[in-house]
């Protein structure tokens, strides 16, 4: 009878918070947050969030190594991609490394659909 509860506690994975545009925008404005675009460099060049301070391609094999070398663990890492798929995978990887991660659900697509702009 208690077995499901026992095993539920053992399978806890590092987690991240997935938030909508308005909450992500508020988090991105905080001093203790670093906004990271995890899309390809060509996608970054087409337009990115103004608050994004770096671009680390989540599809590259060395994504985690680059992130660990660049990002401080004492800050909140707010990440996004195009639609939210890559950023969710990247958020999982970063959370496994001990980062506090917030991910933009729906990516830059949802950002722009809400009327928020990007910079080039």
Contact by Cβ (8 Å): 77, 101: yes
Active site residues: 81
pLDDT of residue 4: 46
What are phi and psi for residue 113, nearest 5 degrees? -65, -25
Can you list the alpha helix ranges (DSSP code H) found in the chain? 3-10, 21-28, 41-46, 63-70, 85-96, 107-113
Domains and CATH numbers, the chain: 14-113 (3.40.250.10)
Query: Tokens in use for 83?
Result: 């639609």
Residue 33 has what DSSP assignment? Answer: E
pLDDT-derived band at 15 (thresholds 50, 70, 90) equals very high
Residues 25-74 pLDDT 10s: 999 999 999 999 999 999 999 999 999 999 999 999 999 999 999 999 99
pLDDT-derived band at 7 (thresholds 50, 70, 90) equals very low
- Whether the pLDDT of residue 92 is over 50: the answer is yes
As a whole number of angstroms, the distance between CA 94 and CA 104 comes to 14
As a whole number of angstroms, the distance between CA 77 and CA 1 comes to 40
């Amino acid at each position: 009878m208690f077995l499901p509860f026992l095993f539920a506690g053992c399978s806890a994975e590092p987690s991240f918070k997935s938030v909508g545009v308005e909450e992500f925008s508020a988090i991105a404005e905080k001093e203790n947050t670093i906004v990271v675009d995890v899309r390809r460099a060509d996608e970054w060049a087409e337009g990115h969030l103004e608050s994004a301070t770096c671009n680390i391609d989540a599809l590259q094999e060395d994504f985690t190594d680059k992130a660990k070398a660049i990002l401080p663990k004492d800050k909140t890492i707010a990440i996004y991609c195009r639609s939210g798929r890559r950023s969710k995978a990247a958020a999982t990887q970063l959370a496994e490394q001990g980062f506090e991660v917030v991910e933009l659900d729906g990516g830059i697509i949802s950002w722009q659909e809400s009327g928020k702009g990007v910079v080039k």
